[in-house]
Amino acid sequence: MNIIMLGAPGTGKGTVAAILKERLNLPHLSSGDIFRECIAKKDALGQELDGYLSKGALVPDDLTIRIVENRLEQPDMENGVILDGFPRTIEQAEELDRFFAKRGKKVDVVINLTTPEEEVIERIVTRRICSNQNCKTVFNLKLNPPKVEGKCDVCGSDLIQRKDDTKETVKSRLDTYFKQTSPLVEFYSNKNVLRTEEVSERINRFGKEVAEDVIADLKENF
């Protein structure tokens, strides 16, 4: 089964994807994680990627497609994947369809998460990530704080704030998302694979509830 997570930064894609990964036994492929791994290597590719991400801009389609498809060809992706942060443009979506079609596969469901913009900004600015790359558990200082300040509940490693999780960068990322990525909602709606869910304090509905509903529906219909 191939699942795509859609939604602006801070809507909880990573949280929902993590639950789906555990319950459905599918690998979670985050384009952001792949990019950060490349940046950490500090080679030419990493420096090029950092130039885009540090400004809150999207990485060019051709570069993104090449990096993600190379990962999708690995053996652990054979039985399906949860894609988080890819595709982000219509060109990427069309290329992904071609990639899957050549292998007798398809996109089975697209989960589109929505959250009011003011909540997104606050959620990202107060987000903290486990520094252990084998853990990467996500916390929120307001909604889901760690038991010990600055430490991961799961592995005890230090929690960090991503350098692009600032108010200014978040606003830039949201503007970029709504201009370039929102058309994907219509693209996948026309393919009858889109499911839209609101994740918001306003309606007291968060990632865990959304994930449980999605899992129940997937198990019934697939």
Catalogue the active-site residues: 13, 88, 127, 162, 173
Contacts of 167 (CB under 8 A, 6+ apart): 121, 125
Q: What is the DSSP string of 102-161?
A: TTT----EEEEEE--HHHHHHHHHTEEEES-TTT--EEETTTB--SSTTB-TTT-PBEE-
Give burial (CB, 10 Å; 0-12/13-18/19+) of 98: exposed
Give the torsion through C-alpha atoms of 8, 89, 175, 141, to 10 deg.
30
Task: Enumerate the β-bridge partners of residue 84.
Answer: 5, 30
Structure-block tokens of residue 2: 């191939």
Q: What is the DSSP string of 66-82?
A: HHHHHHHTSGGGTT-EE
